[in-house]
Amino acid sequence: MMNFSLKYLNLLKTKFEGLNLTRILDEQEFYDKQILDSILPYEQCEEFKNLIESRKLVVDVGFGGGFPILPLAHHLPKIRFIGFESRMKKVEAVNVIAAELGLPNAKTYHQRIEDVLIDRPCVVTFKAVGTVTDFLKKLNVSKKDVGIFFYKGPSFAEKEQGEFEKTLSKEWELFVNFQLKVPGTEERRIIGFRPINVPRGTSKNLVKLSDIF
């Protein structure tokens, strides 16, 4: 995994310098805060791991410079990964990085998540992308067997959980709230939600996940 990390960081520092795909440029810090932080929820949280293994499809939203999609795709070569990101330049860069790192199981698309219909069983991930309440409201889901996971720091318990309970707890069940051990980082958690009622938000003209994969 360290070799993968060094190769990845080298691409970000050379070919894609100037795109600001990560602000972390120190080798050990990049390994801890981007690579390990991306894959340790799978290694440490049983529910997250079991859902990924049974759904076999992970949809990563707002991957920026490729996190967690690319470290997870490297770690789990038999799982299919699809990324949606609203900034075109990041999508183009991450598709090239995925090819250079030898990750045929990861493909990324220029698409806002609010324009996508999640109509296949899958696991959806968000890392450092907005708040739980904002993004759960944006999701269009037609299948019940979908798990939505947010990689979070202390902000969830401190600021976001109350807002979620006030506004969305009748629509989404919070079913995972797991504290992780990630070297070099303060409190990290993986928080999982599943829809209580489906379909939700399916009336618009949406890009179907099933048309992509």
Ligand X SMILES: C[S@@+](CC[C@H](N)C(=O)[O-])C[C@H]1O[C@@H](n2cnc3c(N)ncnc32)[C@H](O)[C@@H]1O
List residues near ligand X by CB under 6 A. 61-65, 67, 84-87, 90, 112-114, 127-129
Q: Which is nearer to ligand X, 44 or 86 (CB)?
A: 86
103 within 8 A of 78, measured Cβ to Cβ: no
For the CB of residue 2, give the shortest distance to ligand X in the complex, in Å. Answer: 19
Q: Which is nearer to ligand X, 54 or 213 (CB)?
A: 213
Instruction: Report the DSSP beta bridge partners of residue 27.
Output: none
Contacts of 53 (CB under 8 A, 6+ apart): 79
CB of 93 to ligand X, least distance (A): 11
* Cβ 59 to ligand X shortest distance, Å: 11
Omega prior to 199 cis, within 30 of 0: yes
Give the whole-angstrom CA distance, residue 6 versus residue 204: 43
Beta bridge partners of 84: 61, 109
Looking at beta carbons only, is 54 or 96 nearer to ligand X? 96
Kindly tell me which of 92 and 114 has the beta carbon lying closer to ligand X: 114
Query: Which residue's CB is nearer to ligand X, number 104 or number 153?
Result: 153
CB of 113 to ligand X, least distance (A): 4
Task: Report yes or no: 65 and 21 within 8 Å, Cβ to Cβ.
Answer: yes
Other beta carbons within 10 angstroms of residue 181's beta carbon come to 10
Write down the least CB distance from residue 96 to ligand X, Å: 16
